[in-house]
Amino acid sequence: MNTEVISSAQNPRIKHLLALQQKSALRREEGLFVVEGRRELEHCIHSGMQVESVYCLDGTDLSQFSILNSQLSLVKVTKNVYERIAYRGSTEGIIAVIRTPQPLTLESLLQQKGRGVNGKLLFVVLERVEKPGNLGAILRSADAANATGVIVCDPLTDLYNPNLIRSSIGAIFTVPTVACTSEDCIAFLKQHGVQILTAQLQDSHLYYDTPMAGPTAIVMGTESTGLTDVWRQAADAHIRIPMLGQLDSLNVSVSAAILLFEAVRQRQLS
């Protein structure tokens, strides 16, 4: 294993690592992204992704990571450098640069064996999601519900944004996730007999009165503008969560969790 020790935050390798964390254009150009934390790196490795290099706080125990072989570039950094490159202080002293995998296709979602409660397709579809933290939280819920996959339509953030990876706690590596256009997604769902349920306030029924035991896609928009007309018109049904207080909406990640687990509940009873 190639090992290097860096004690200055001005080192070119450290500057490059920071640039990968901060610039989506550079991540796309170089086909690399950054993972921080043991749990996140474990999920990443288990999913088969290629580790390019590891940066660790000098003295960190790396014995749990069998992937760290003789071909890998290992960079040990001093405490002051690690504090510069770490997003948070509780990541056990390890950050890795990962090769971006080939993107999944919509059709590949049909080949995810063992996913979907009772073997029935269950998707979360997000239109024009903006906030990486919301997408990360939704991925965690999708993992917990064993959803078939998450489909991100017309995304405004890249899937390997460090904030997304961190907020998902590695679920971006455990849940099959596809980025595509809304038009392609609608055509795919209709072709495969997946009912489209759009979460919206207007012209909608209570979510627990809506059948979800069959192949289902739960479609959600941004908190600021909701869904566009292309989804409203493509929907088989419009659903809503009752709001009993003075506010008219929940955070999109909370709403997604509620709707996902209603689908789980109905499937377990069917």
Please write the tens of the pLDDT for every residue from 237-268.
999 999 999 988 899 999 999 999 999 999 99
Task: Decide if 1 contacts 68 (C-beta within 8 A).
Answer: yes
In a shared domain, residues 50 and 140: no
In a shared domain, residues 247 and 187: yes
Torsion, Cα 39 42 48 53, to 10 degrees, reads 100
In a shared domain, residues 164 and 227: yes
- pTM for this prediction: 0.92
In a shared domain, residues 83 and 186: no
Provide the domain count of the chain. 2
Predicted confidence (pLDDT) at residue 222 exceeds the cutoff of 90? no
In a shared domain, residues 95 and 24: yes
Task: Decide if 177 contacts 135 (C-beta within 8 A).
Answer: no
In a shared domain, residues 191 and 235: yes
Provide the token pair at 215.
């192949």
Residue 85 lies in domain: 2-99
Within 10 A of 225 (CB to CB), how many other CB atoms are there? 10
- Residue where one domain finishes, among candidates 82, 99, 116: 99
In a shared domain, residues 167 and 80: no
Main-chain dihedrals φ then ψ at residue 189, nearest 5 degrees: -65, -45
Q: pLDDT band at 58, cuts 50/70/90?
A: confident
pLDDT at 118: 76
As a whole number, the mean pLDDT across the chain is 91
Better-predicted residue by pLDDT, 206 or 88 = 206
Task: Decide if 178 contacts 188 (C-beta within 8 A).
Answer: no
CA distance 198 to 51: 38
In a shared domain, residues 151 and 47: no
Distance from chain centroid for Cα 13: 27
Residues near 227 by beta carbon (within 8 Å), at least 6 away in sequence:
127, 198, 199, 200, 219, 220, 221
